[in-house]
Amino acid sequence: MSDSRVSSVAAMHRKQFGAGAQLYQAPGRVNLIGEHTDTSEGYVMPAALDLRTLSVLSPRADLTANIYSANFHQQVSVDLSQMPSAARGHWSDYPVSVLWSLQRRGIHCRGFDMTLAGNVPIGSGLSSSASIEVAVAVAVLDYAQTTLAKPEIAKICQIAENQFVGAQSGIMDPFASCCGVKDHAILLDCRSLQYEPLPLPEQVAVVICNSMVKHSHSDGREYNQRRSEFEEGMRTLRSRYPKMQTLRDIGEQELSDCAELMPDHIFRRCWHVVSENRRVLQAAAALREGDFVRFGELMVQAHYSMRDNYEASCVEVDILVELAMLQTGCFGARITGGGFGGCTVNLVASKNADAFVENVRRDYREKTGIEAEIYLSYPSDGAGPVPEA
């Protein structure tokens, strides 16, 4: 993180609140492989990004929390002895939800002034929401002189987002923001929360291409429909395999044996999830061996499965993947996030990354008339304190 960014946010805090302060950071994340597997307790492989939210905290003697967002140029005040119990559809729901979730865990603190400033693009699937939540959590936990294991902090943030903000997000986002490791992806088992950092050295860059397309069915309706489709599949499968709790518990052969028991589209939704869990584990094995070519092949297979089995891609994103795969040094490309638009994630040899960005931007513009936003990022460490520059 640039020293100038740290000192300018610290200066902003002093200007807003007139006090010196402690700084913290929490990154956004991208999911390299493992889409729609977290909700059935499967495997995912995110990496924390070097795009992050900074939080700055200085103590107060009373019980007021003043929270200023540099992104929204707005300040809110909360009485910590009388916390709101519901979201109001405002950015402050996110930081307040974390204070609420911490209090539910019995973690209380005195008042404070806080500045938040993020460079994770908001609402683009790179989890600015987890990054702001975790940035608040680590700052407040330190202020409350409470130490928690990082996966615990992630759970507090997930509860905040699910139960206070009201978004049905999984554990992956706050987990990656808390537990990211520089130059590594994280293999996460969403059932046990055990995780393993896997090397993604500096020779490879993670490039994120935003298609700038949000399809009308990306509003959650289609997403929820997919969930209910694979839940329908699970009910059918449980009649055959009573011990199965989620799709995580069966393999492709067991699923194939039940193909006749369900409509084709339900079978394909389930097939995506079951085969995706296998691909994540194979991708992990590839990274352990430093085999980026194999890793890239699995990314592309994962994309095709999202497109054909889960049916959650779209024309523009498919074009981005095709164009990416034509570029020198591109190991793999796939849609990332919930689907129906949004971003692709690409694994590219670092030496070719600048040319990749330029060419994909140009070719995508020529094919679609759309100007893509492209972020070149390197996997980073998870949240923590930041020394003032």
Pick the binder of ligand ADP from 20, 123, 263, 384 (CB under 6 A). Answer: 123
Per residue, the 3-state secondary structure of the chain, as one string, reads CCHHHHHHHHHHHHHHHCCCCEEEEEEEEEEEECCCCHHHCCEEEEEEEEEEEEEEEEECCCCEEEEEECCCCEEEEEECCCCCCCCCCCCCHHHHHHHHHHHHCCCCCCCEEEEEEECCCCCCCCCHHHHHHHHHHHHHHHHCCCCCCHHHHHHHHHHHHHHHHCCCCCCHHHHHHHHCCCCEEEEEECCCCCEEEEECCCCEEEEEEEEEEECHHHCCHHHHHHHHHHHHHHHHHHHHCCCCCCHHHCCHHHHHCCHHHCCHHHHHHHHHHHHHHHHHHHHHHHHHCCCHHHHHHHHHHHHHHHHHCCCCCCHHHHHHHHHHHCCCCEEEEEEECCCCEEEEEEEEEHHHHHHHHHHHHHHHHHHHCCCCEEEEECCCCCCEEECCC
User: Which stretch, 101-109, 122-130, 241-249, 357-365, contacts ligand ADP (CB under 6 A)?
Assistant: 122-130
Show the site string, 244-263: x = touches Mg ion by CB under 5 A, - = not: --------------------
> Which residues from 27-86 bind ligand ADP, rule CB under 6 A?
53, 69, 71-72
Give least dist CB 134 to ligand ADP, A.
11
Q: Taking CB under 6 A as the rule, does residue 116 contact ligand ADP?
A: yes
Residue 168 or 194: which CB sits closer to ligand ADP?
168
Work out how close the CB of 37 gets to Mg ion at its nearest, in angstroms, rounded to a whole number: 17
Q: What gap in Å lies between CA 246 and CA 274, rounded to an integer?
A: 10
In the structure encoding, which two tokens stand for residue 171, read together? 């554990």
Binders of Mg ion among residues 112 to 131 (CB under 5 A) are 127, 129
CB atoms within 10 A of CB 147: 9
Smallest distance, ligand ADP to C-beta of residue 123, A: 4
With CB under 6 A as the contact rule, the residue among 33, 45, 96, 132 that binds ligand ADP is 132
Query: Does 173 qualify as catalytic in the annotation?
Result: yes
Residue span binding ligand ADP (CB under 6 A) among the ranges 120-128, 223-231, 232-240, 369-377: 120-128
Q: For residue 122, count CB atoms less than 10 angstroms from its CB and return exposed for 0-12, middle for 13-18, buried for 19 or more.
A: middle
Q: Which is nearer to Mg ion, 329 or 338 (CB)?
A: 338
Of 33-41, 102-110, 119-127, 296-304, which part binds ligand ADP (CB under 6 A)? Answer: 119-127
Contacts of 193 (CB under 8 A, 6+ apart): 151, 171, 175
248 burial level (CB within 10 Å; 0-12, 13-18, 19+):
middle
Q: Which does 122 bind (CB under 5 to 8 A by kind): Mg ion, ligand ADP, none?
A: ligand ADP
The answer to whether 30 touches 206, Cβ cutoff 8 Å, is: yes
* 132, interface contact from Mg ion, ligand ADP, none, CB < 5-8 Å by kind: ligand ADP
Closer of 53 and 344 to ligand ADP (Cβ): 53
350 binds, among Mg ion, ligand ADP, none (CB under 5 to 8 A by kind): none
Least distance in angstroms from the C-beta of 75 to Mg ion: 23
125 interacts with ligand ADP by CB under 6 A: yes
Q: What minimum distance in Å lies between the beta carbon of 69 and ligand ADP?
A: 4
**Residue 233, binding choice from ligand ADP, Mg ion, none, Cβ under 5 to 8 Å by partner class:** none
What is the smallest separation between the CB atom of 279 and ligand ADP, expressed in angstroms?
A: 23
Residue number with CB closer to Mg ion (130 or 283): 130
User: Which of ligand ADP, Mg ion, none binds 353 (CB below 5-8 Å, type-dependent)?
Assistant: none
Interface with ligand ADP in residues 268-287 (CB under 6 A) = none
Q: How far is the CB of 173 from Mg ion (least distance, A)?
A: 6
Q: How far is the CB of 350 from ligand ADP (least distance, A)?
A: 26
- The catalytic residue among 38, 113, 173, 249 is 173
Measured CA to CA, the distance from residue 327 to residue 305 in angstroms comes to: 22
Say how many residues make up the chain.
Answer: 389
> Which residue of this chain has its Cβ atom nearest to Mg ion in the complex?
129
Q: Which residues bind ligand ADP (CB under 6 A)?
A: 53, 69, 71-72, 91, 94, 116, 118, 122-129, 132
- Catalytic residues, by residue number, are 173
Q: Which residues bind Mg ion (CB under 5 A)?
A: 127, 129
